[in-house]
Amino acid sequence: MDVGESDATVYRQGDVFAKCCQAPGVVELAAERDRVAWLAGTGVPGATVIDWLESSDGACMLTSAVPGVPGDALPPSAHGAAMRSLGSVLRALHALTDCPFERPLAAVIATAADVVRRGAVNPAFLTDEWRRLQPSELLDQVVAESPYVESVLEPVVCHGDACLPNVFFDPRTLEVTGLIDLGRLGVADRYSDLALTTIQLHDEWSADPAPFLDAYGLPEPDPRRLQFFRLLDPLTWG
pLDDT tens, position by position, 74-89: 999 999 999 999 999 9
- Which pLDDT score, from 0 to 100, does residue 6 have? 58
CA-based torsion, 15, 72, 191, 174: positive or negative: negative
pLDDT tens, position by position, 136-162: 999 999 999 999 999 999 999 999 999
pTM beyond 0.85, yes or no = yes
| Closest residue by Cα to residue 72 from 92, 86, 62 | 86
* Structure confidence at residue 8 as a pLDDT band (50, 70, 90): confident
Inform me whether the pLDDT recorded for 212 exceeds 70. Answer: yes
Q: What is the mean pLDDT of residues 46-59?
A: 97
CA atoms of 158 and 138, how far apart (whole Å): 24
Domain boundaries, the chain: 2-64, 69-236
* Structure confidence at residue 206 as a pLDDT band (50, 70, 90): very high
Q: Is domain 2-64 annotated with CATH 1.10.760.10?
A: no
Inform me whether the pLDDT recorded for 1 exceeds 50. Answer: no
- Which pLDDT score, from 0 to 100, does residue 3 have? 40
Q: Check for a shared fold between 2-64 and 69-236.
A: no
Inform me whether the pLDDT recorded for 191 exceeds 60. Answer: yes
- Residues with catalytic roles: 161
Inform me whether the pLDDT recorded for 9 exceeds 80. Answer: yes
SS (H, E, C) the chain: CEECCCCCEEEEECCEEEEEEEHHHHHHHHHHHHHHHHHHCCCCCECCEEEEEEECCEEEEEEECCCCEEHHHCCHHHHHHHHHHHHHHHHHHHCCCCCCCECCHHHHHHHHHHHHHCCCCCHHHCCHHHHCCCHHHHHHHHHHHHHHHHHCCCEEEECCCCCHHHEEECCCCCCEEEECCCCCCEEEECHHHHHHHHHHHHHHHCCCCHHHHHHHCCCCCCHHHHHHHHHHHHHHCC
What is the pLDDT of the chain when averaged over all its residues?
96
Q: What is the mean pLDDT of residues 36-61?
A: 97
Inform me whether the pLDDT recorded for 2 exceeds 70. Answer: no
CATH topology of domain 69-236: Aminoglycoside 3'-phosphotransferase; Chain: A, domain 2 (3.90.1200)
Inform me whether the pLDDT recorded for 71 exceeds 60. Answer: yes
Q: What is the mean pLDDT of residues 94-121?
A: 98
